[in-house]
Amino acid sequence: MSPRVVLVGLPGSGKTTIGKRLANALRTSVVDTDQLIEKRYGKSCGEVFSELGEEEFRRIEAQTVADALNTDGIVSLGGGAVVTPSNRKLLQDQRVVYLHVSAEEGVRRTAGSDSRPLLNVDDPMSRYEQLLEQRAAYYEEVANLLVNSDGKEPHRVVTDILQFIDDVEHE
């Protein structure tokens, strides 16, 4: 069993929204690793992250990613999942879409969210730029398709991804 597609990208890149729309369009399920963690711990992902610390969170996240990749719908990964080498290795065998977003747009979309401790800082723009710089190479390494979601309506992002899935499934 393998997902039709796995979505990666920074917080605010649209993974949750696009994942749901893709699942609707393809009449399949969507699994979000943050939500699996929330269910397991009975609290928000941000709380789990803050309470356990990043190292322990990444360990739990890696188990969750492995479980999620064993499903056959759409899988959406937490923004930092790609920093863990075992996750990147698992993603080598998957169809991965990197939802790219600029720092300006990403910060705008995540503003006011208290569920993202990494961005809950005095200067979220610098933090976001730093995350983008640290992770861009990882996202690009694992991705088979990059979709720029800046200023793009969600339905157009979905259309691009559906086209990609159709192409690879009919290769």
Using the rule CB under 6 A, is 19 a contact of ligand S3P? Answer: no
DSSP calls for the chain: ---SEEEE-STTSSHHHHHHHHHHHHT--EEEHHHHHHHHHTS-HHHHHHHH-HHHHHHHHHHHHHHHTTSSSEEE--TTGGGSHHHHHHHTTS-EEEEE--HHHHHHHHTT-TT-GGG-SS-HHHHHHHHHHHHHHHHHHH-SEEEE-TT--HHHHHHHHHHHHHHHHT-
Using the rule CB under 6 A, is 36 a contact of ligand S3P? Answer: no
Using the rule CB under 6 A, is 116 a contact of ligand S3P? Answer: yes
Residues near 128 by beta carbon (within 8 Å), at least 6 away in sequence: 10, 103, 106, 107, 110, 119
Using the rule CB under 6 A, is 105 a contact of ligand S3P? Answer: no
- Among 45-53, 62-70, 93-101, 145-153, the segment contacting ligand S3P (CB under 6 A): 45-53
Cα distance between residue 137 and residue 19, in whole Å: 22
Beginning with the edge strand found earlier in the chain, give each strand of the sheet holding 145-148 in spatial order: 30-32, 74-76, 5-8, 96-100, 145-148
Shortest Å, Cβ 51 to ligand S3P: 12
Using the rule CB under 6 A, is 46 a contact of ligand S3P? Answer: yes
- Among 17-25, 72-80, 142-150, 160-168, the segment contacting ligand S3P (CB under 6 A): 72-80
Given candidates 3, 5, 11, 106, which one binds ligand S3P under the rule CB under 6 A? 11
Using the rule CB under 6 A, is 21 a contact of ligand S3P? Answer: no
Using the rule CB under 6 A, is 73 a contact of ligand S3P? Answer: no
Shortest Å, Cβ 9 to ligand S3P: 7
User: Quick one: 130 or 163, whose CB is closer to ligand S3P?
Assistant: 130
User: Quick one: 67 or 167, whose CB is closer to ligand S3P?
Assistant: 67
Using the rule CB under 6 A, is 82 a contact of ligand S3P? Answer: no
Q: Which residues bind ligand S3P (CB under 6 A)?
A: 11, 15, 34, 45-46, 49, 78-80, 116, 118
